[in-house]
Structure formats: C-alpha cells, structure tokens
Amino acid sequence: MKRQLKAVLDEPDLPSVLSAPLKDAVSLVWAEVRTAQRAGDFDLAEKIIREALDGAMPQTIAIFEARVAAANGDKFQ
C-alpha cells in the first residue's frame, strides 16, 4: 500500500490534475471577485473565492481517491 501511494504522489502530473478543479472554480467567479475588489470590498472577494474553492474540493478529493484506487488495482466508484 505504501509503495502504491508513493507512486501516486510521485506522478509528475498530480499537482496539475489536482489543481485543475480549483483553478476552474476560481476562474468561474473571477469577474465577481474583481468587481468586489474594485469596489473595495475585499471581505466579499475573499468570501467568493472561499466558497468557490469549498465547492471544488469534493471533486479534487475524488480525483485523488480515484488515483489511489487505480494504483491499488481497485475500481473507484
């Protein structure tokens, strides 16, 4: 198990694969963030980003779990 997990963590594309849903989430709300920043409402801008990232975390976790399951030879459901 440790070897398979280490292999997953050592995959060169893992950082970009895991960050993709987070980047997508932020890009979807970026116009709102910029509007809030221009209005001087940095708390709102931070809240928008946090909510977007919170929404993307389940997908990011699922990608990681699927990679680990594949490394173990399991089918991820």
65 or 8, which is more confident?
65
Give the residue extent of every domain in the chain: 2-71
Q: pLDDT at residue 14 above 90? A: no
Q: Output the pTM of the full model.
A: 0.73
pLDDT of residue 77: 54
pLDDT of residue 2: 67
What is the dihedral angle through the alpha carbons of 69, 71, 74, 75, rounded to the nearest 10 degrees? 60
Over the stretch 35-75, which tens digit does the pLDDT of each residue have? 999 999 999 999 999 999 999 999 999 998 888 888 777 66
3-class SS at 33?
A: helix
